[in-house]
A and B are shown apart, each in its own frame.
Chain A
Amino acid sequence: MALSARQLKVGDTHSEQVVDNLTRTQVVQYAGASGDYNPIHTDEVYTTKVAGYPSVFAHGMLTMGLTGTMLTNYVGDGRLTKFGVRFTKQVWPGDALTAKATVEAIREEGGQQFVDLQLSTVNQNGEEVLSGYASARIDP
């Protein structure tokens, strides 16, 4: 279901919990699907003994992918025109993430309506792990 310009207003929000208790196995699943096998995401021995981190941690792109799930649930399939993020904090096994989109603008360009969204994904402590933006085509 696509969004409609008539029913949207600046400041509207949509949020979803996109993962609860992130497992190492889901991180492994992401490594396999994406092809990014960097051991800092899946190999506890390497990560603690060589890389110097307290444990493995999620790919930034897994956090972006989880955030993308919230985003496409909100704007509809095939509607995104832009999606960009900054990774602001690492995401660890056990984390619970909530992704939120806030309507920043509703605009028309060449006869087509668009919504501009501001994005923020936070962990169970309310710390932001990702900030970003997206734009999507919407119905009149």
Chain B
Amino acid sequence: MAIEKFPVEAGHIMMFARAVGDDNKIYYDEAYAKTTEVGSIIAPPTFVQASAQFDPDYRLRPKIGEPWFGSGKEPTGVQQSSGGGGTGLHAEQHYEYHRHPKPSDVLTATSRPGQTWERQGRRSGKLIFSETITEYRDQHGELVVTARGVGVRTERPVEQS
């Protein structure tokens, strides 16, 4: 995956901060932000996850004119061979901040696969883990955030205890 252009915008930061229940003025009040140590609005620590908005191929966003696997007339909009199969879930997420993104930054993101491993889960059958490392760089090519995500695919839905 590569994202060629992830413009960091103040309105997007405000909406993201609201979604994670954070009313800190550093995320929306520019006049206040100027009086602080950081000197400008900055993005909350998990904001780079929203780069998905700028990934043209992101598969968890409905695409215009294409069937979507969520419900409409039917419980799913795509053909499924059998219901109740496994689910792709997020297992881990790690961030290293070289600095914190701010409005006017235009980031790029390049990802490469890391390790893959398997484990037998107690509540969901065989688990296949796969790691992705993503580097977010700014308009000057400087590294801003390094992210390492681990996804897991389960054999069947996670049993609820």
* A window 34-58: CB within 8 A of B: 34-40, 42-43, 45-46, 49-54
What is the interface residue range for chain B against chain A? 35 or more
Answer whether residue B66 sits at the interface, using C-beta atoms and an 8 A cutoff.
no
Contacts of B19 in A (CB 8 A): 26, 29-30, 32-34, 62, 65
Q: Report the nearest A residue to B95, measured CB to CB.
A: A83
Instruction: Give the contacting residue for A68; candidates B45, B52, B94, B158; CB below 8 A.
Output: B45
Answer whether residue B34 sits at the interface, using C-beta atoms and an 8 A cutoff.
no
Per-residue B-contact encoding for A76-90, CB less than 8 Å = 1, 0 else: 111011111111001
Q: Report the nearest B residue to A65, measured CB to CB.
A: B20
Give the docked Cα–Cα distance between A37 and B77 (Å): 14
Known interface pairs A26-B21, A68-B45; A77-B90 also in contact (CB < 8 Å) = no
- Please tell me if the beta carbons of B61 and A37 are within 8 angstroms of each other in the complex: yes
Per-residue B-contact encoding for A120-140, CB less than 8 Å = 1, 0 else: 000000000000000000000
Give the docked Cα–Cα distance between A61 and B87 (Å): 16
Q: Report the nearest A residue to B15, measured CB to CB.
A: A33
Contacts of A86 in B (CB 8 A): 91-92
* B window 3-43: CB within 8 A of A: 12, 15-16, 18-22, 24, 26, 36-38, 42
A to B CB contacts below 8 Å, 5 in the list: A29-B18, A38-B60, A45-B75, A50-B80, A59-B90
